[in-house]
Amino acid sequence: MSHFLLTEEHELMRNVARDFAKNEVAPVAKQLDATGEFPHEWVKKCAELGFLGIPIPEQYGGVGADALSECLVIEEIARESGSLALIIDAHTSLGCMPLLLEGTEEQKMKYLIPAAKGEKLMSFGLTEPGAGSDAGGSKSTAVLDGDEWIINGSKSWITNIGVAGTYIITAKTDPDKGNRGISAFLIEAGTPGFEVGKWEKKMGLNNSATGELFFRNCRIPKENLLGTLNKGFPLFLKGLDEGRVAISAMAVGMAQGALDRAVAYAKERVQFGRPIAQFQAISFYLAEMATKIELARTLLYRVAKMRDEHLPYSKEAAMLKLFSSEMCCWVCDRAVQIHGGNGYSKEFEVERFMRDAKLLTIGEGTSEVCKIVIGGHVLA
C-alpha cells in the first residue's frame, strides 16, 4: 500500500526492509524470543543493509536519508520482531543522533562513523534506579580532575548493554543546579571502572539487551564531554523527541504485525460451520484495529516529515507517542482475543506481540509524562 507522504525512494527503502523482515527475521523470531539470545546475525545484516545509519550523513558513514526513511525501516522490522526494532531505535535515535547534533568533528570521526556503518552499536544511558520519569533526579556524578573526568554512579534499564561499543551517559557536573547541572559524556566499552550489569528478565522484547551500568571512579578523557558543559538536559530532551518518533514507528509496525496474524487466523479458524471472520463481532474488531493503525501511521509520517523539515515537533512527537503506544497495546490485546484460547499459547505469535507492546507505553516517556508534555504545550 502506497502513502501520499512517501516518495519512490521511501518505497524502495521500505521494500528492502520488508523483504529482510519477512525472509530473515520472521522465520526465527519466535524461536529467538524463547531463547532470549541477542540477535547478532540480524544486527550484522542490518549493518550491511545500512539500517544502522539511515539518517546519518554519508560523510559520517551513514546513508544520508531522512527520518521518515528510518521510521519506515523500523516499522517493517517491528512487524516481525519488536526486539530488533528496539535495538535499531536505541542505536540510531538515542545514540547516533545526539552525537550528530552535538559532537565535535573529532568525536564524529572517532565514534559516529563506526556506529553509522554498523561496526559498533551505540547505547544511551539516562535512567537510574531512583530517576526514571524524573530524569533530573539522577545521582551519577562527573568531576573534572586535570585532563580527565571521573564518573561515579549507576544506570538502569539501558538498552544495548554489553553489545554496544560506545555509550552516551548523563551525569551531574554541578549537582547544586539540578537539571541545569547535567552533562553528557562518551564512554567506550571496556574502560576501567565501567562495568556492565546483568540483563533484566523482562516481560517481553527478550532479544533486547537491557540492564544496568556501573561507574566506579571511571576515568575518561576531558574531550569526551558531549556538547556543552551542564547542557546535557536539553540534549537528551532533543534525543527523547527523536526517540518518541522512532518508538512510535515500532508501535505502528508491531500493531500491523498483530493485525496481520489476526486476519489470517480469522480467515482460517472455523467455528459454527464458518470462518470466524464472517462473524460481525470479529470483523468489527478487525475494522477498528485497521483504522487505528492507519491513523497512527499517518500521524507518524507527518511528524517524521516535520522533523525532516526542521519544524518544532515536541508536542506532536508526544501526541504521536501517546496515541501509537496505547493503540498498539489495544490492537495486540484484540489480536489475542480473536485467537481465543490459542492466543494465550506461545505457539501463536500474538502473545509475543502483546508482551512486547507494553514497553511502548513506558519507554521514551510514559503515557503520563507524554500527557504532561502535551498539556504544557496546550496551556502555553
Angle subtended at Cα 27 by Cα 32 and Cα 87, rounded to the nearest 5 degrees: 50
Q: Which helix (H) or strand (E) holds 99?
A: helix 97-102
**Active site residue: 128, 326, 349, 364, which one?**
364
Q: Do the strands 210-221 and 164-172 form a parallel or antiparallel pair, or are they unpaired?
A: unpaired
Q: Which residues contact 355 (CB under 8 A, 6 or more apart)?
A: 203, 204, 205
Contact 75, 252 (CB under 8 A): yes
Sequence-ordered strand ranges (E) for 109-264: 121-125, 141-145, 148-159, 164-172, 182-188, 194-199, 210-221, 225-226
Q: Which of 247, 263, 234 minimizes the C-alpha distance to 360? A: 247
Active site residue 364: yes
Handedness of CA 62, 316, 254, 357 (dihedral sign): positive
Residue 127: Cβ within 10 Å count: 20
Q: Which of 116, 94, 96 minimizes the C-alpha distance to 50? A: 116
Q: Look-up: residue for cell 526514571?
A: 132
CA distance readout (Å), 195 to 93, 151, 159, 192, 215: 24, 12, 15, 8, 6
Q: Look-up: residue for cell 558513514?
A: 61
Work out the widest C-alpha separation in the chain, in whole angstroms.
79
Separation CA 154–CA 170 (nearest Å): 10
Separation CA 239–CA 225 (nearest Å): 16
Angle subtended at Cα 346 by Cα 340 and Cα 347, rounded to the nearest 5 degrees: 80
Q: Which residues of 14-25 are buried (b: 16+ CB within 10 A; e: fewer)?
A: bebbbebbeeeb
The residues annotated as belonging to the active site are 364
